[in-house]
Amino acid sequence: MSGMEQERLEVRLAIDIRSSREKVWRALTDWQQLNGWLSDKADVDLPAGRFKLCGNRLPDSPCDGTDKFSLAGYEDRSRLELNWQFRAGNTGLSFQLSGDGDACRVELAHTDVPRRGETEVTMIEYWQWVLLALRGYCETGSRPGIFEFGAEQRTGQLEVGIDIAAERETVYNILASSDGLKGIFGGEGPEVELRDGGKYSYGWGPNEGPTKVISFKPNELIHTDWYHGTDPETFITWKLSGSGGRTRLTLVHSGFPNEAQKHDYEAGWFHFLVELRELAEGNSDRKVEVLARPDGWAI
């Protein structure tokens, strides 16, 4: 590879959906349905060769009059191929559908992807959010959360939230137990002592994550400190609201000494909110399969 050529990478993932192929195909190709779960403004007519998407749940694709997506080809109810101008490069995006009855498998491939910048979203995580949202939309008709790019944040803090189809107590108990924290964050030996000043650790090791509970209110909030390497101390607050089997979970990360630092966290925190949602809704054994990816977090 010459010094002038930019490295191109690929990610492939798959998910199983308890819906018919016809229903999943409509969710991917009907403009009204796309606006119901993924885009802000879709314009799709497959026979006419038209496929346009934009919105704040699509990275690098604001509704500013620029057409980032175009149709490359399709096979009805089986395969959708798109071109996507992404990160100043021309990338390929495909959805392959298979299955019978109320069982559909979707395989997604994103190819020729330029290497990500330091603060850009990790596409491996992003496509997991999208596939989980597609599954939720097809199975329940709901609009599961996808990270919204460019959301305004208050100075010195960031806030991300997600809706969860579970009782508030269920969600709180995950955050209030070592088993729950392990299920979300995957650390070794997380600790929870639910009292003011008690231990609270994700099990990530020294100077990584929280160390103690600052305050808490059962089924409503948990407030902790936060450390990352040599960065100054910041703070995490988990806030819960809702009733009747629906919970709104909001994470507030505050105390940032400069605005640039907080942007490194936004998509990362949303990823953990998704992990928590899947755990609370009983879907932790229905994960997105990663079929191919580059080493590390290159894209």
Q: Tell me what the pLDDT averaged over the chain comes to.
A: 93
Q: Quick one: pLDDT at residue 298?
A: 76
Q: Give me the mean pLDDT over the 247-260 stretch.
A: 90
Share of the chain above pLDDT 70, in %: 97
**Using 50, 70 and 90 to split pLDDT, how confident is the model at 27?**
very high
Q: Kindly tell me if the per-residue pLDDT of 3 is higher than 70.
A: no
Q: Which residue segments constitute the domains of the chain, with CATH numbers given?
A: 8-147 (3.30.530.20), 157-280 (3.30.530.20)
**Mind listing the pLDDT tens digit for each residue in 116-166?**
877 678 899 999 999 999 999 999 998 878 888 877 777 889 999 999 999
CB contact set of 236 (below 8 Å; sequence gap of 6+): 210, 223, 224, 225, 226, 251, 252, 253
Residue entry with tokens 């990338």: 91
Q: Quick one: pLDDT at residue 57?
A: 93
Q: Quick one: pLDDT at residue 167?
A: 97
Strand partners, 159: 252
pTM: 0.90
**Mind listing the pLDDT tens digit for each residue in 82-95?**
999 998 889 999 99
Q: Quick one: pLDDT at residue 71?
A: 99
d(CA 145, CA 140): 13
Q: Kindly tell me if the per-residue pLDDT of 13 is higher than 80.
A: yes
d(CA 203, CA 185): 8
**Which segment of 44-53, 153-162, 177-186, 225-234 scores lowest on mean pLDDT?**
153-162
> Sheet holding 89-98: strands in order across?
69-75, 79-86, 89-98, 104-114, 8-17, 289-292
d(CA 260, CA 153): 12
d(CA 254, CA 159): 9
**Using 50, 70 and 90 to split pLDDT, how confident is the model at 63?**
very high
d(CA 67, CA 40): 13
Q: Is the pLDDT higher at 297 or at 159? A: 159
**Mind listing the pLDDT tens digit for each residue in 171-218?**
999 999 999 999 999 999 999 999 999 999 999 999 899 999 999 999
Q: Quick one: pLDDT at residue 119?
A: 66
Exposed e or buried b per residue across 56-89, where buried means at least 16 C-beta atoms within 10 angstroms of its C-beta: bbbbebeeeeeebbebeebeebeebbbbbebbee
- Which contacts (CB < 8 Å, 24+ apart) does range 240-244 have? 240/168, 240/171, 240/172, 241/168, 242/168, 243/168
Q: Quick one: pLDDT at residue 198?
A: 98
Q: Give me the mean pLDDT over the 213-238 stretch.
A: 96
Q: Is the dihedral of CA 133, 175, 252, 190 positive or negative?
A: negative
Q: What does the block give as tokens for 210?
A: 């929280």
Q: Kindly tell me if the per-residue pLDDT of 1 is higher than 80.
A: no
**Using 50, 70 and 90 to split pLDDT, how confident is the model at 265?**
confident
